[in-house]
């Protein structure tokens, strides 16, 4: 993939090679275009050719792309349209189901002798639980929604916590990346998003604050439990607006951007954002609506 030309035969060769890798290589896992380019060692100034190949394969239905921009095998279940026979069969089933439902919902011939107790709805149960939780905090303890009520998953989407989506330092655990202030290459378990001093920082997801602390590298930071063993850490903060143990909703103001620590003076003011799942760092950009410039 290192030497490119515009000929149709070469383009088709690349399509066949990429399709074979995605469809038939058992070691392949869904990847973004930049990850495929890194795997195939495609020069940065020629990655647009790889993107054209991927776009063509998606357009013709050979491969699919997830909502997070990862290329994968197509989902056959979503590409097959129902036939007329399927529609007729479904209509017959619906008709039979409706008839049976009408028969079973006819009023009883004899009145019931005992009143039937109403079963509280799920929403009512949740409401009562919240009221009980609020009451239990009268002794002065900080009581909030349990972490089990949070539902962050691999398919969840984060919102941008600051006003820009300009990435100063990328997530990179497989290869090293350059840290300008340190003037060295090393792995990065988080992303640094360019911002400005005193800019507001908002919660990227619902969560419960599990830490409000400080370290020399990331400065003042907070960590939030998002549920399902996901945790999100925001660093390089000041004037933090939330307390440890408090429940925070997506979009809530959580603090402001501070002066960068001595580890990020060249990069300038930025938000340090680290996402982990089961204790292992994952790329936050996989959960943000982000397109590489």
Percent of the chain residues past pLDDT 70, beyond the cut = 71
pLDDT tens sequence across 135-155: 333 333 344 555 558 989 999
Fold of 167-287: Glucose Permease (Domain IIA) (2.70.70)
pLDDT band (50, 70, 90) for residue 62? very high
pLDDT tens sequence across 245-275: 999 999 999 999 999 999 999 999 999 999 9
What is this structure's pTM? Answer: 0.55
For residue 57, the tally of other CB atoms under 10 A from its CB is 22
Cα 76 off chain centre by: 24
Checking if the pLDDT of 237 tops 70, the result is yes
Lowest mean pLDDT among 17-21, 60-64, 106-110, 129-133: 129-133
Q: Residues 6 or more apart from 226 whose CB is under 8 A from it?
A: 150, 152, 156, 205, 206, 207, 232
Residue-level pLDDT at 146: 55
Which residue shows structure tokens 């647009």? Answer: 48
DSSP string, 55-105: HHHHHTTSSEE-TTS-EE---GGGTPPPPHHHHHHHHHHHHHHHHHHHHHT
Residue-level pLDDT at 6: 53
Most confident of 20-24, 32-36, 74-78, 114-118: 20-24
pLDDT tens sequence across 188-225: 999 999 999 999 999 999 999 999 999 999 999 999 99
Q: Which DSSP category does 155 fall into?
A: T
Residues linked to residue 186 through DSSP beta bridges, in sequence order: 177
Domain boundaries, the chain: 8-77, 167-287
Residue-level pLDDT at 259: 97
Checking if the pLDDT of 132 tops 80, the result is no
Checking if the pLDDT of 3 tops 60, the result is no
Nearest Cα to Cα of residue 191 among 249, 250, 232: 232
Residue-level pLDDT at 250: 95
Q: What is the mean pLDDT of the chain?
A: 79
Selected from 2.60.120.10, 3.40.50.300, 1.10.10.10, 1.10.3720.10, the CATH number assigned to the domain covering 8-77 reads: 1.10.10.10
Q: How far apart are CA 234 and CA 218, in angstroms?
A: 9
Lowest mean pLDDT among 31-40, 122-131, 269-278: 122-131
């Amino acid at each position: 993939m290192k030497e490119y030309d515009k000929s149709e035969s070469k383009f088709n060769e690349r399509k066949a090679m990429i399709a074979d890798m995605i469809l038939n290589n058992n070691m392949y896992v869904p990847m973004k275009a930049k990850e495929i380019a890194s795997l195939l060692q495609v020069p940065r100034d020629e990655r647009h050719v790889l993107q054209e190949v991927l776009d063509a394969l998606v357009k013709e239905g050979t491969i699919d792309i997830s909502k997070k921009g990862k290329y994968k095998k197509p989902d056959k279940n979503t590409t097959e349209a129902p036939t007329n026979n399927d529609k007729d069969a479904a209509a017959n089933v619906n008709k039979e189901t409706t008839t049976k439902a009408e028969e079973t919902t006819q009023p009883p011939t004899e009145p019931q002798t005992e009143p039937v107790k109403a079963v509280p709805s799920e929403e009512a149960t949740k409401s009562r639980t919240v009221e009980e939780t609020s009451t239990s905090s009268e002794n002065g303890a900080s009581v909030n929604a349990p972490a089990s009520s949070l539902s962050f998953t691999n398919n969840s989407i984060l919102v941008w916590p600051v006003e820009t989506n300009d990435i100063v330092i990328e997530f990179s655990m497989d290869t090293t990346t350059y840290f300008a202030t340190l003037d060295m290459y090393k792995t990065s378990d988080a992303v640094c998003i360019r911002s400005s001093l005193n800019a507001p920082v908002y919660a990227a997801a619902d969560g419960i604050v599990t830490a409000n602390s400080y370290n020399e590298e990331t400065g003042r930071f907070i960590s939030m439990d998002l549920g399902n063993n996901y945790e999100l850490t925001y660093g390089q903060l000041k004037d933090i607006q939330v307390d440890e143990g408090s429940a925070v909703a997506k979009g809530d103001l959580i603090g402001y951007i501070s002066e960068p620590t001595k580890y990020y003076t060249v990069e300038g003011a930025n938000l340090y954002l680290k996402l982990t799942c089961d204790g292992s760092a994952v790329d936050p950009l996989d959960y943000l609506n982000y397109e590489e410039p």
